Amino acid sequence: MPKRMSEAINEHIRHSLWVYILFLLVFLFGLFWGYGAPHSMDPSKAGELNTFVQKLVEGLPQSQIDSTLEMKNAFLFNGFLMLCLWFCGITVIGIPLTLPIIFYKGFSLGFSIGFLIGGQALKGFVIVLLTIIPQNIILVPLFFIGSMMAISFSLYLIRRPREGSGGIAKGFAKYCGRFALLFLGIGFCALLQGYLAPALLKLFFVLL
C-alpha cells in the first residue's frame, strides 16, 4: 500500500510539476510585491501602524494574548481563501481565479513580513521567525494542493459529462472530502498561530 501510494504521488508530481511551478512563481511574485508594499504606504498611515506595533511589542512580556481569538481570526482568514478555491473548482470559470488567490496569499504574507522587519528590525525578524514562518510552512503547500484540486475537478467536470449525475456526484463527494482534509490542516495551523506562536514570542521577550 505505501509503495502504491508513493508511485501515485510520483506520477501526480511528474504530470503536474509545471502547474506547481506556476503556483510557486505566482506566490513568490505576490510575496515580493507584498514585502515591498509597506515602503510605498502613506507616511502617516505607516507611522500609525509602526507606533501600534511598537506598543504591542513593548507590552508583550506583561500582556495577555487572546489565543482563542487569534486562532479564530487565523482560521477565518485562511479558511475563507480555501473556501474560495473550493468554489473555483465547482465552476469552470473558476480555473483562472486560483492564481489571484495564490497571489493574494503571497502578498498578505509578504506585507506582514516586510512591515514587521522594516519597522522593528531585529525584533521584527524574530517575530516573523516565531509567529509567521512556522504555520506558513504548512499553509502554503496546502494552498498549492487546494489550487491543484480545484483545477483538476473543474477539468473533470468539463471532460466527463457522459458519466451522468451519479458519477459526477461521486466525484463531487471525493472532492469535498479532500478539501475537508485541507480545512483540518488549516485548523491545525490556526492552533499553532493562536497558542504556540504567542507562547514562543512571550518566552523570547522574557528571556531578552
- List Cβ neighbours of 47 (8 Å cut-off, separation of 6 or more): none
User: How confident is the model over 180-201, as pLDDT tens digits?
Assistant: 999 999 999 999 998 888 888 7
The mean pLDDT of 148-172, rounded to a whole number, is 79
Q: What band does 143 get if pLDDT is binned at 50, 70 and 90? A: very high
Q: pLDDT at residue 46 above 60?
A: yes
Confidence of residue 1 (pLDDT cuts 50, 70, 90): very low
Residues 6+ apart with CB under 8 A from 149: 85, 89, 175, 178, 179, 182
Question: Helices then strands (H, E): number in the chain?
Answer: 7, 0
Distance CA 101, CA 48 (A): 28
Instruction: Single out the residue of 57, 170, 59 nearest to residue 124, CA to CA.
Output: 57
For the segment 31-36, the average pLDDT, to the nearest whole number, is 92
The DSSP letter of residue 1 is -
Answer whether residue 206 shows pLDDT above 70: no
- Residue 63's Cβ-count burial label (10 Å; 0-12, 13-18, 19+) is middle
pLDDT tens column, 51-80: 766 666 666 656 677 788 889 999 999 999
Note the pLDDT tens digit of each residue in 98-141: 999 999 999 999 998 888 887 666 777 888 888 889 899 999 99
pLDDT at 28 over 50: yes
